A and B are shown apart, each in its own frame.
Chain A
Amino acid sequence: MLNKNKKRSWLVLLALVALIFGLVACGGSDTEEPAGDDTAAEDTAVEEPAAEEPAVEEPVAAGLESDAAEVKSEFFSQEQYDRSMRQMTLTAEGPEGEPWLQYLEAEFVDTSEFAKDGPYTFCFSNAGVNNPWRVVGYNTMLAEVDLHPEIEEFIHVDAEGSDEKQISDIADLVAGGNCDVLIVSPNTTAALTPAVEQACEVLPVIVFDRGVFTDCPVSFVQPIGGYAFGEAGARYIIDNCGDDCNVLALRILPGVDVLEERWASAKLAFEGAGNINVIGVEFGDGDNAKVKSIVTDYLDRFGQIDAVWMDAGATAVAALEAFEDAGQPYPIIVGEDQQDFLVKWQENGLSGIAPTFPTFQWRTPIIAGLRIMNGEELPAVWRLPQPIITNDNLDQYVQPNMPPLHYAMCGCEGMPDFPGRWGGE
């Protein structure tokens, strides 16, 4: 028995060694291959060093050819891209200074069939409050509810990030029969469609944040969208980074439509620009430590990174710290409206930009719900403006009294219990 086991143990160890070396071998050829096929310019640089600068051992950058840079066709819609770009140039209609009430290119629908006397019960099926953006948004929504005494009850059910759970939650809310309006923030677009369709048959539904593949909801509330977000950051880098610009692109994870849209438009912009050399596209899982490690590794390998593009700003500060720890000058940085980033941006006078996916959109569904109850008309697709924080207007969004992960674009400054409700002092 023992002997037999010994023999097998050697086999297993051999297999392990083979696996590791096999990996090293094929991994090595993997990184060499792209150098052969796609960066012909670099090849010649190596073969004829005299013709180029002496920096011969420049590491091979997979950049826009890497797997992480690929944009699958299902994530790109030219029509949505064009709409997104067009709407960024338009001025939103609606009351000045209250972007959550504003709308772009709206077609109004009549809701008189739903009109009803108060008091009302509003129901909200939430995908989850599993990240700080959603926490800020949800607090903002609760504050909006508090502004309206005619909403007697606000029922909130939280699916904790599970599609299957959210389907059951919606079924429960519909079956309970108490809801006058159902607000849904879908966990995923495709999976929640059947549940929303079923709810639409019973009561008026408002969908916001992510969409669904049906137009049965009375109103769909969403800011301009991912393409505009991604493009804004990329454009800023292209315009401000000089002639020969090394860009590191950091993404959270593949497969999420909003994030794919952001990257798709950024990639398009980078490809069309003459001055951009994307040295890497990496997934950081939205994890500070991971992002910081990735950036540190790239600084080690490439020596200099001129700009960092990110598809979401939550880890922007971690990326900047990697530069600090390496003793390198700050890059041009694309972040988001998170306070820790804004504060760092202001303190260090960075060259940066923060496109936003504004949390004030959490106010709008409540307002839309009340319009439906009053039988007023409202936009079928309520396209909200999507402000961008730049060096020029940065000061008005920095709020040192707010927590680090607070999102500045909440439109909540004048609301009840500000700033305590959002964790500020």
Chain B
Amino acid sequence: MTVKTLSNVRSLMRETRLPPVYAILVVVFVAAVVLDAIFGRGQITSSTILTNMVVRSVALGIVAMGQTFVMLAASIDLSVAYLISVTAVMASYLMQGDPNRVPMAVAAVFGIGAVVGLVNGLIVSKLKVNPFIATLGVGLVLKGLLNASFETFVGAVPRSFQTLGYGQIGPIPISILVLLAVTIIGALVLSRTKFGAHLYAVGGNVETSRLSGLRTDRVIILAHVICSLTAVLTGLFVVSRLRSGAPWVGTDGLYDLESIAAVVVGGTALSGGKGGVVGTLAGVLIFGILDTMFNQLGVDTFLKQVLRGAIIILAVASYTIRSREKAA
């Protein structure tokens, strides 16, 4: 690529106000298509594989949207993986395969999620515990309570509920629409509401925000509640795919660290105050493309892990390197 086209791309992105991560997304996608054409079976561009590529990003994507909110507030949430497990187990336990119990179960798990988010937010904002430790601790507590009550798959969701995971409207899977809806709502909340503006302010500088009269604690708590609610939604999506929930589904999916990685790859600063859910969507899709590409090319499992680690670092480096700010 010549310098000129590169600057053209940049100005185009500035005009459309797309975060720079979309440039990486395009590069990764083109690389995947080219590599697949040369070494693989050249199927990556078929519509079903493309659709699957997005579907495989949905579970991570939904929770990453919530993770974006807490990270914008300069916080972090390591408890999401356990909350996803709790949701999956509780939902299938409460539903017991009975369609009539779906509304009750859904209400119950969202209730649990709200409480967990509230607890996270209160510990972080009122007890002043570093969010890394606070949510790690809450995660351990959730894990303990969950494993004390359940050991394996319990109950089941009714067939009708599986529409969330497997259903389609025309050619488009419902799960993709859910992911898009969450992204759009997230983007609107961030750009159009007072809360969104406050979130960026608090993440940018808590002290200044407090001094300028913001109720910073409330903003942080609300961000945590939102994050927990998206974790619940991911849990519901996962259980609809698995038909039944087990205590390990969240942690085995690595949703905690991967959601953080996806958010940062998507351009949200770990130090808070910068970024947004639109970037996160690209971050999540990059992970989906990599997974699909590795599968199509038959990359060795262990090499795959090495590459994934390296790509996360390089993607983030590609824009941090230009910033003059300190990293921590």
**Are A190 and B48 in contact, CB atoms less than 8 angstroms apart?**
no
Bound: A187/B292 CA distance, A: 19
Bound: A168/B295 CA distance, A: 11
CB-CB < 8 A to B166: which residues of A? 194, 198
Determine if B242 is an interface residue (Cβ-Cβ < 8 Å).
Answer: yes
Question: A72-109 interface mask toward B, CB cutoff 8 Å, 1 = contact, 0 = none?
Answer: 10110000000000000000000000000000000000
Determine if B207 is an interface residue (Cβ-Cβ < 8 Å).
Answer: no
Task: Select the stretch in B133-141, B184-192, B247-255 that faces chain A.
Answer: B247-255
**Are B246 and A162 in contact, CB atoms less than 8 angstroms apart?**
no
Give the shortest distance, in Å, between A140 (CB) and chain B (any CB). 16
Give the shortest distance, in Å, between B140 (CB) and chain A (any CB). 14
Interface size bucket, B side? 35 or more
Determine if B241 is an interface residue (Cβ-Cβ < 8 Å).
Answer: yes
Determine if B41 is an interface residue (Cβ-Cβ < 8 Å).
Answer: yes
**Are A188 and B153 in contact, CB atoms less than 8 angstroms apart?**
yes
**Are A175 and B49 in contact, CB atoms less than 8 angstroms apart?**
yes
**Are A175 and B252 in contact, CB atoms less than 8 angstroms apart?**
no
Determine if A321 is an interface residue (Cβ-Cβ < 8 Å).
Answer: no
Q: How many residues of A contact B (CB 8 A)?
A: 37
Bound: A369/B135 CA distance, A: 48
**Are A164 and B246 in contact, CB atoms less than 8 angstroms apart?**
no
Bound: A298/B94 CA distance, A: 40
Give the shortest distance, in Å, between B51 (CB) and chain A (any CB). 8
**Are A163 and B242 in contact, CB atoms less than 8 angstroms apart?**
yes
With A74-B152, A164-B59, A255-B151 as known contacts, state yes or no: A172 contacts B249, CB within 8 Å: no
**Are B243 and A191 in contact, CB atoms less than 8 angstroms apart?**
yes
**Are B249 and A175 in contact, CB atoms less than 8 angstroms apart?**
no
Bound: A148/B152 CA distance, A: 39
CB-CB < 8 A to A257: which residues of B? 152
Bound: A193/B153 CA distance, A: 13
Bound: A58/B292 CA distance, A: 59
Interface residues of A in 275-331 (CB under 8 A from B): none
CB-CB < 8 A to A158: which residues of B? 301, 304
Bound: A256/B304 CA distance, A: 27
With A156-B298, A165-B291 as known contacts, state yes or no: A176 contacts B241, CB within 8 Å: no
Question: A140-181 interface mask toward B, CB cutoff 8 Å, 1 = contact, 0 = none?
Answer: 000000000000000111101111110111011001101000
Bound: A367/B222 CA distance, A: 57
Bound: A389/B55 CA distance, A: 46
With A168-B52, A172-B52, A191-B244 as known contacts, state yes or no: A254 contacts B151, CB within 8 Å: yes
Determine if A64 is an interface residue (Cβ-Cβ < 8 Å).
Answer: no
Main secondary structure of the interface of B (DSSP, over half): helix
Give the shortest distance, in Å, between B97 (CB) and chain A (any CB). 12
Determine if A129 is an interface residue (Cβ-Cβ < 8 Å).
Answer: yes
Bound: A255/B248 CA distance, A: 10
Give the shortest distance, in Å, between B119 (CB) and chain A (any CB). 15
Q: Which of A162, A168, A255, A260 contacts B252 (CB 8 A)?
A: A162
Interface residues of A in 102-155 (CB under 8 A from B): 128-129, 155
Question: B98-138 interface mask toward A, CB cutoff 8 Å, 1 = contact, 0 = none?
Answer: 00000000000000000000000000000100000000000
A192 closest partner in B (C-beta): B242
Give the shortest distance, in Å, between B198 (CB) and chain A (any CB). 23
Determine if B56 is an interface residue (Cβ-Cβ < 8 Å).
Answer: yes
**Are A165 and B52 in contact, CB atoms less than 8 angstroms apart?**
no
CB-CB < 8 A to B127: which residues of A? 12
Determine if B70 is an interface residue (Cβ-Cβ < 8 Å).
Answer: no
**Are B41 and A176 in contact, CB atoms less than 8 angstroms apart?**
yes
Bound: A360/B93 CA distance, A: 37
**Are B41 and A178 in contact, CB atoms less than 8 angstroms apart?**
yes
CB-CB < 8 A to B254: which residues of A? 162
Q: Which of B242, B292, B301 contacts A172 (CB 8 A)?
A: B292
CB-CB < 8 A to B2: which residues of A? none
**Are B298 and A255 in contact, CB atoms less than 8 angstroms apart?**
no
CB-CB < 8 A to B292: which residues of A? 172
**Are A165 and B247 in contact, CB atoms less than 8 angstroms apart?**
no
Give the shortest distance, in Å, between B251 (CB) and chain A (any CB). 10
B288 closest partner in A (C-beta): A168
Interface residues of B (CB under 8 A from A): 41, 43, 46, 48-49, 52, 55-56, 59, 127, 147, 151-153, 162, 166, 238, 241-244, 246-249, 252-254, 291-292, 295-296, 298, 301, 304-305
Question: Can you list 29 A-B contacts (CB < 8 A)?
Answer: A72-B151, A156-B298, A157-B295, A157-B298, A160-B305, A163-B249, A164-B238, A164-B241, A164-B242, A164-B249, A164-B253, A165-B56, A168-B55, A168-B291, A172-B295, A175-B49, A175-B52, A176-B296, A188-B153, A191-B242, A191-B246, A193-B243, A194-B166, A194-B242, A198-B166, A254-B147, A255-B151, A255-B247, A260-B152
Q: Ordered nearest first, which 7 A-B pairs have the shortest CB separation?
A: A255-B151, A175-B48, A168-B56, A191-B242, A255-B152, A190-B153, A158-B301
